Chains A and B, each alone.
Chain A
């Protein structure tokens, strides 16, 4: 979380053409933007290209940002518009999960307890499942889910980025959360909740 005073100073400097100040904004928000675009496109290469486009566009149009405090929402909106423009208004779809039942390695791993309760990092396979479940979400839900669950933005900020009402965002995030839970549960079966990761 960037201190409001620092953010204000950096944005003002950027508005006056200070590239060094803008590079600090890039260092602060680059990872968030990269990962947001990655969740929307599913491609690291694409995400890196679009992230660069986002920051170049942001620098060129920084003067149009009225409230410096809303820099983050504004930047996410540029990133999102870049993705939409690239994919002509539709977010890319990523292939669905095809593994089922107890034969999958995640289920076997959870059932055998080979990863102990102390394990705080998801196994590669379980992580892939979660990644896939997120990527399978309908466009409308994926957008708000990523902003909320991965980027940890407030509902108000998400509402500003996606241009929908707060009530609609709240409802969509809940539906997305339930859908993600149901799909992971479906994949893990009775083993859902067995791994003591929390």
Chain B
């Protein structure tokens, strides 16, 4: 099992991909382990055979053909040369959403919800003034707020009619 750890790194050793510490460890093991040393020599021989394999000769005179293809190919467009980083994508999406929201707000300046809210507020303020004038509640110290204080000493009276939010029977 211990030998397996070293033999798995023999290729990395020969390729110069080990750290100095790892290299020392594996070479120390190789010097004391005949079977691992044999494996190392066997692999090294195959390295030698592979290194001797001829490569294809390269002819730089084929460059004119490439040059003519480059000359005939379209140049990269301005936008493709901008090298847009990844950050531009979320920025663009956010900008598009913002533009859409602004356009919608301009097209629909007031929606039904805000109208309903305003009508309710007016109704409540009217009720408040009515109740204050009849002495049912005490005026609020919050300016125009609809908040009022309940008057526990007032005589009970009937609720005024005209609730716009309740359908009449």
Compute the total of residue contacts between A and B using a CB distance below 8 Å.
116
Chain A's closest residue to B58 (CB) is A31
**Residues of A in contact, count (CB < 8 Å):** 50
Minimal Cβ-Cβ distance residue in B for A153: B15
Q: Which residue of B lies closest to A188 (CB)?
A: B49
Partner of B66, one of A17, A55, A171, A181: A55
Most buried by A among B56, B62, B81: B56
* A19:B42 contact, CB within 8 angstroms: no
Whether B49 pairs with A30 at a CB distance below 8 angstroms is no
Which residues of A are found within 8 Å of B9, using beta-carbon distances? 174
A99 to B76, CA, bound (A): 52
Number of residues from B at the complex interface, CB < 8 A: 39
Complex contact B49–A178 (CB within 8 A): no
Contacts of B51 in A (CB 8 A): 149
CA distance A171 to B12 in the complex (A): 9
Give the Cβ gap from B73 to chain A, nearest Cβ, in Å: 6
Please report the C-alpha to C-alpha distance between residue A113 and residue B76 in the assembled complex, in whole angstroms.
60
Q: Can you spell out 25 A-B residue pairs with CB atoms less than 8 angstroms apart?
A: A23-B67, A27-B60, A31-B58, A34-B58, A52-B62, A59-B70, A60-B70, A60-B76, A63-B76, A63-B81, A63-B83, A122-B49, A130-B49, A130-B50, A134-B53, A149-B50, A155-B17, A171-B8, A174-B10, A178-B11, A178-B43, A180-B46, A181-B43, A184-B49, A193-B42
Other than A23-B63, A63-B76, give 6 A-B pairs with Cβ distance below 8 A.
Answer: A52-B65, A122-B49, A149-B47, A174-B10, A180-B50, A193-B42
B residues engaging A (CB < 8 A)? 8-12, 15, 17, 41-56, 58, 60, 62-63, 65-67, 69-71, 73, 75-76, 80-81, 83
Binding site for B on A (CB under 8 A): 17, 19, 22-23, 26-27, 30-31, 34-35, 38, 44, 47-48, 52, 55-56, 59-61, 63-64, 66, 120-122, 126-127, 130-131, 134, 148-150, 154-155, 170-171, 173-174, 177-178, 180-181, 184-185, 192-193, 197-198
